Amino acid sequence: MARQADDSLTAHLTREQYRVTQEHGTEPPFSGEYNGFKGDGTFVCICCGQPLFDSATKFDSGSGWPSFYKPISGSAVESETDVSLGMRREEVHCSRCKAHLGHVFPDGPEPTGLRFCINSVSLDFQPAE
């Protein structure tokens, strides 16, 4: 569901970032800057800056999107059932600002068995100090 445009977001997000985070879009697979990225630090919400994922939990799922096996904390992201596109999936969004991030699937590595499949454009990266 599209939200009413927020001037503060449209001022600092690209059109693609806005489409994905506010209109529940998806970037094309293998197109995002963080898909093959390997850096030490924290991935944060592009909209509000909340820390979402530690780089130590990132793995190559082969899906075409950055994948993580767990959020940085139990309260960083929230999920809800998404039945769009004729599928039943769990949508993941930022718990602070509700920006759409991607989806979570039960086919990830241990220790969680989860794969948080996240759009690169919904993330920013803060290198470890």
- C-alpha closest to that of 96 among 71, 113, 120: 71
Residue 121's CB is within 10 A of a number of other CB atoms, namely: 23
Please name the amino acid found at residue 129.
E
Question: Cα–Cα distance between 24 and 1 in angstroms, integer?
Answer: 7
Which domains occur in the chain, in start order? 7-127 (2.170.150.20)
* Mean of pLDDT values over 88-105: 95
Instruction: Say which residue, 96 or 8, is predicted with more confidence.
Output: 96
Judge if pTM exceeds 0.85.
yes
Q: Would you name the residues annotated as active-site residues? A: 117
Question: Cα–Cα distance between 41 and 19 in angstroms, integer?
Answer: 26
Given this model, what pLDDT does residue 6 score? 65
Instruction: Among 12-16, 39-43, 47-51, 120-124, name the one with the lowest average pLDDT.
Output: 12-16
Given this model, what pLDDT does residue 68 score? 98
pLDDT at 67 over 60: yes
